[in-house]
Structure 1
Amino acid sequence: MSRSPDTVTLVDVVVIGAGQAGLSAAYHLQRLGASFVVLDANPAPGGAWQHRWRTLTMGDVHGIATLPGLDVPEAVDDAAARDFVPAYYAAYEERFGLPVVRPVRVSAVEDADPGNRGGDLLIRTDAGVWRAPAVINATGTWERPFWPSYPGASSFRGRQLHTHGYEGPEDLAGLDVVVVGGGASAVQVLGEIAPLAASTTWVTRREPVWRVGDFDPDAGREAVALVEERVRQGLPPQSVVSVTGLLLRPQEARAAAMGAYERHPMFTRIEPEGVRMADGTFRHADAIVWATGFRAVLRHLAPLHLREDTGGVRLVAREDAHTPTTAARDHRVQLVGYGPSASTIGANRAGRVAARSAVRVLDDRAAA
């Protein structure tokens, strides 16, 4: 869509991001009768799913959550997740005629009148400016991969890559590979790499927690509640998998039999030809894969000063006691795809609550 950078468009609510949480919020805003727009930085539908590695299949992800109002089509296990999920999201946008504008990159969200903290917000982008009383932020984490800093990293002569840029195991065939990270992505990557690599070494800061028993809906709700408690306190959110535990899938049995899931404590430094382990021994490495997760993409919200001294954005619940989405420091801003709603377990519910909370901002202003 071609727009002048000086164009200002008025709407009731601006949704930033068209992943699962953003689309869920848009669906409920539409049902509530609000005027809104969804601004998406990606060139096509699919959110972060369109960027997942090539070999990640629907069998690997155990399916996806159904968006409100449209069931997920049946998927074969070997369907590429980065093709299947974007196709579903595209069909969803079309089915409900959602006003998604892309590609649009938001640079800042700020007060239209700096002297009136409760007034409209300006959403500045590379495609013009939107003005609205409320914002639902659904930018997720994909664009902010976390690379830990370790001594000697710049001296390493091999290849370093983050799962953000991982495409599949073939490029690592025949190499000595160190995989860093204690989450589900590290387990999945090890499962693919180990059968092809010359060797793999798995290192984590903490001992991995393996799940025992099925992950039923009750367990899912308990996991989300634990992550919700952190955002209620204004602490930086942790991933839901950090409280659900890890589970080996059948396709990872071969890697397990090869010993790929023998965990080692984090190395102390990186050297030109490998890593120095905590016990002083040396491990040769041709490549280091950082499966170290992502951080929330919130820099564009910095003008609103939403962060607490504890480092996170504290969220409160205005419409649903079990789902905090409202920024405690500014009730005009809803955060979805943040903390507990960064998972498929909580994103749909958060989208509904955020939409209702955003409309409440409009109602409160009309009643004032």
Structure 2
Amino acid sequence: MIQRCEVLVIGGGQAGLATAFYLLRAGVSTIVVDNQEAPGGAWRHAWPSLTLFSPANASNLPGMMMPSYPGFPPAEHVVNYFSRYEQRYDIPVQRPVEIVTVTKLNDGFVAEDSEGKQWQSRSVVAATGTWSAPFVPYYPGEFSGQQWHSAHYPGPEPFVGDRIAVVGGANSGAQIAAELTKVGDVTWYTQGEPRFMPDDVDGRVLFRRNRERLRAMQSGEEDPGPESALGDIVVVDSVKEARDSGELQSHPMFSSLDEVDADHLIWCTGFRPAVGPFRSLMHGLTPEVDGLFPVGYGEALGPGSATITGVAPFAKEAARKAAERVGKTIR
């Protein structure tokens, strides 16, 4: 069976939902396919203590406020919000669907999933994110303990009383290392000294900075600089407590796995864009064919484009271009 629509959105996380919102509002025939079992995108797989950096009223997809929450919302709150968002706007999400290939077909595309089902569309929105493509750098040597990646970090329970090596000097590395100092012996490896942002900086500050950057870029003004100019680590309460108590101390990066004396090694080394189905149609994140629109993969696509609130202008622009291909308008 072949399903047909004007725009196929691949990915049902924040980027896919935001883009579908604009498309559907303009009357564009849209199908969203998602490889998860239920709503929530990558937030379904967050470790138990992970929270947003911003309060709920500053963490919104277009059209619908996130329900209130005291403090910074946890992943479960985000997942519930995404589910309600799908319901409110009647977003036609089909799941679980694992798209394996996307091919150019005349003036449109055909996408095929792992079971051989196909979708044909005039345009495709690539919104597959990064969570399914965790990155682990190569180091020589051997490590005899258990290795993890932050994508699959389950919380502190499996590490009680153990020696844990945590690699990575950004948010996930600092948060996971800080949490584990409460249950085990942690060695936190970073490239250089950790760069903590000022203690009063949270997601609201970063959002305003990203909007200022976007406005400057659109008007041809000088780029005021990325949020990394402020540092690499948002000082959430758990990180502040561990840092100020002296429990969170960084160590120079090892040069070989043979140097790591621990029971566990946790790589907090980020992700790469999960663009496997589109790889033949893109150079990096730049499409090489008309009608393919990547949304939400991070700084390479624009400031704040991989955040819940920040993705909206990029989703709207992709939706606008896709709608134009079928003679419809998004303002």
Q: Is the structural similarity TM-score above 0.5?
A: yes
* 3-state SS in 1 of match to 2:327: helix
Aligned partner (choices 279, 297, 319) of residue 338 of structure 1: 297
C-alpha deviation, 1:95, in angstroms: 0.9
Match of 1:91 in 2: 84
TM-score, normalization by structure 1: 0.77
Q: Does 1:219 align with 2:209?
A: yes
Match of 1:110 in 2: 103
Contact 1:203–1:266 (Cα < 8 Å) also in 2: yes
Q: Does 1:210 align with 2:174?
A: no
* 3-state SS in 2 of match to 1:362: coil
C-alpha deviation, 1:45, in angstroms: 0.3
1:319-330 matches, cutoff 5 A: 327=287, 329-330=288-289
C-alpha deviation, 1:56, in angstroms: 2.2
Q: 1:207 to 1:289 in 2, by over 3 A?
A: same
Match of 1:321 in 2: none
> How far does the alpha carbon of each residue in 1:295-334 deviate from its partner, in whole angstroms, 9 at most, with x for none?
1000100232x11xxxx223xxxxxxxxxxxx3x223111
C-alpha deviation, 1:220, in angstroms: 2.9
Match of 1:13 in 2: 7
Match of 1:319 in 2: none
Q: Which amino acid aligns with 1:84?
A: H
> How far does the alpha carbon of each residue in 1:27-74 deviate from its partner, in whole angstroms, 9 at most, with x for none?
10011111010000000000000111122245x665462112211111
Aligned partner (choices 141, 144, 147) of residue 160 of structure 1: 147
C-alpha deviation, 1:350, in angstroms: 1.2
* 3-state SS in 2 of match to 1:88: helix
C-alpha deviation, 1:351, in angstroms: 1.2
Q: Does 1:151 align with 2:144?
A: no
Aligned partner (choices 266, 277, 280) of residue 303 of structure 1: 280
Counterpart Cα distance in 1 of 2:111 and 2:96: 15
Q: Does 1:126 align with 2:126?
A: no
* 3-state SS in 2 of match to 1:190: helix
1:249-328 matches, cutoff 5 A: 249-271=236-258, 274-275=259-260, 284-304=261-281, 306-307=282-283, 312-314=284-286, 327=287
Match of 1:281 in 2: none
C-alpha deviation, 1:86, in angstroms: 1.4
C-alpha deviation, 1:244, in angstroms: 4.8
> How far does the alpha carbon of each residue in 1:205-234 deviate from its partner, in whole angstroms, 9 at most, with x for none?
244322235352442335668999xxxxxx
Q: Does 1:201 align with 2:192?
A: no
Counterpart Cα distance in 1 of 2:214 and 2:298: 9
C-alpha deviation, 1:96, in angstroms: 1.0
Q: 1:243 to 1:16 in 2, by over 3 A?
A: farther
> How far does the alpha carbon of each residue in 1:176-215 deviate from its partner, in whole angstroms, 9 at most, with x for none?
2111011111111112111211x22211224432223535
Q: 1:289 to 1:61 in 2, by over 3 A?
A: farther
> How far does the alpha carbon of each residue in 1:220-270 deviate from its partner, in whole angstroms, 9 at most, with x for none?
335668999xxxxxxxxxxx7645522322233332144344322210111
> How far does the alpha carbon of each residue in 1:322-349 deviate from its partner, in whole angstroms, 9 at most, with x for none?
xxxxx3x223111111123122342122
Match of 1:139 in 2: 128
Counterpart Cα distance in 1 of 2:277 and 2:62: 28
Match of 2:223 in 1: none
Contact 1:183–1:242 (Cα < 8 Å) also in 2: no
Match of 1:279 in 2: none
Q: 1:51 to 1:156 in 2, by over 3 A?
A: same
* 3-state SS in 1 of match to 2:325: helix
Contact 1:108–1:303 (Cα < 8 Å) also in 2: no
Counterpart Cα distance in 1 of 2:216 and 2:165: 31
Match of 1:358 in 2: 322
Match of 1:234 in 2: none
Q: Structure 1 stretches of 5 or more lacking a match?
A: 1-6, 114-118, 229-239, 276-283, 315-326
Q: 1:244 to 1:297 in 2, by over 3 A?
A: farther
Backbone CA RMSD of aligned residues: 2.5
Q: Which amino acid aligns with 1:338?
A: Y
Contact 1:183–1:241 (Cα < 8 Å) also in 2: no
Counterpart Cα distance in 1 of 2:55 and 2:147: 29
Same amino acid, percent of matched pairs:
34
Contact 2:55–2:69 (Cα < 8 Å) also in 1: no
Contact 1:123–1:131 (Cα < 8 Å) also in 2: yes
Q: Which moved more, 1:13-22 or 1:123-132?
A: 123-132
Q: Which amino acid aligns with 1:192?
A: E
* 3-state SS in 1 of match to 2:21: helix
Q: Does 1:67 align with 2:67?
A: no
Which one has more relative contact order, counting CA pairs under 8 Å at least 6 apart? 2
